[in-house]
Amino acid sequence: MLSTDTIRAAGAVLWRGEGVVEVAVVHRPRYDDWSLPKGKLDAGETVPAAAVREVLEETGFHSVLGRHVAQVRYSAFGRPKVVDYFGARAVRGAFTPNSECDELRWLPVADAAALVTRREDRDVLAAFALVPADLRTVLLVRHAKAGKRENWPGDDDLRPLSSAGWRQAEALRALLPLFGPARVHAAPRVRCVQTVQGTADDLEVFVPREPRLSEEGYWPDRDAGLVRFLDIVAGDGVPVVSSQGGVIPDLVQKLADLSGLRLADVPCKKGSLWLLAFTHPAPGWSTSDSPAAWPRLVSAHYLPSALPAPRP
């Protein structure tokens, strides 16, 4: 739990290239240092939104967020400061010197690490370099609030979002595009579909129903649910998957166990999001292959809410 006087900030390892990856570092004349792009959250802003905004303001590049790379903590101006860094692929733009940054250099990771001034930035670059920059990102969402089951007189499959749930769904509609989604899937529950329908509408895509990722479809055959999820992972473009609290913790833990990724716990609040990043499957890969050939989970980051945290 962060104290109320903590300075929250966000940034990114902005990267480009295929094969040989280059990352962006910027010179800040105010401090006369070389840094990864980052900055403090504005009022009413989420951490991912701040990362995208700061990258654009400091580098001139629009970006798509990928995995969560690292969180660093240090003291600034006598207060604790926490900075979350994501990988961010540059998609378009150009650098123009500005009041915050007067120079940008695209460098291989090792050269960027040698140039940056702060040890914390070198640590972030080291974490970024541990796995490939170009990973398969999946946005696994638990449906938003839908009131209490005992207060709904009809079929529970048809229980809709509550007013609080609709606020969460609208927040997700603003947050999910930062990660460049292309597809939207949902367990066949009205509340699961409603949670991500706004995102699907914005993308102008249909929401396929995923019975294997509902609670009663998953638990009779967990392996089949896992295989179906990995089929979704292996498709084209970044998928959003909306499921239930009785599925997500077990599914994420199974994926982590298969990949040798250690997770302390797997929370799953309503309206929350797991940002999962996988290695690419081999060409011609199939879920009938040995699990050793399946896409490997290399990063799992939990966002407890798409709503911005209240400011102290």
Domains of the chain, each with CATH number or no CATH: 7-128 (3.90.79.10), 136-303 (3.40.50.1240)
What is the model's pLDDT at position 78?
Answer: 84
What residues have CB less than 8 Å from 43, skipping those under 6 apart? Answer: 311
Tell me the β-bridge partners of 63: 90
- Give the containing element (helix H, strand E) for 207: none
The percent of the chain in helix, strand and coil, each rounded to the nearest 5, is 35, 30, 35
3-state secondary structure of 183: strand
Average pLDDT of adjacent 10-residue blocks, the chain of 312 residues: 80 94 97 96 96 98 98 89 97 95 98 97 98 96 92 84 97 98 98 98 98 98 96 95 98 96 95 96 77 88 90 53
* pTM of this structure: 0.95
Cα–Cα distance between 96 and 190 in angstroms, integer? 47
Helices (H), 24-156: 47-59, 109-115, 119-128
What is the model's pLDDT at position 310?
Answer: 67
In Å, the largest CA–CA distance within the chain is: 64
Asked whether 63 and 23 are in contact (CB, 8 A), the reply is no
Q: Could you give the dihedral angle defined by the CA atoms of residues 100, 105, 108 and 112, in that order, rounded to the nearest 10 degrees?
A: -50
3-state secondary structure of 151: helix
- Mapping DSSP onto H, E and C, the string for 215-255 reads HHHHHHHHHHHHHHHHHHHCCCCEEEEEECCCCHHHHHHHH
Helices (H), 133-290: 163-175, 190-203, 215-218, 222-233, 248-259
What is the model's pLDDT at position 1?
Answer: 54
Please report, for residues 8, 73, 131, 193, 305, the alpha-carbon distance to residue 58 in angstroms, rounded to integers and kept in the order given: 18, 21, 25, 37, 27
Cα–Cα distance between 260 and 254 in angstroms, integer? 10
What is the model's pLDDT at position 214?
Answer: 98
Q: Judging by DSSP bridges, how do beta strands 273-278 and 136-142 pair with one another?
A: antiparallel
What residues have CB less than 8 Å from 188, skipping those under 6 apart? Answer: 157, 209, 210, 211, 214
What is the model's pLDDT at position 2?
Answer: 61
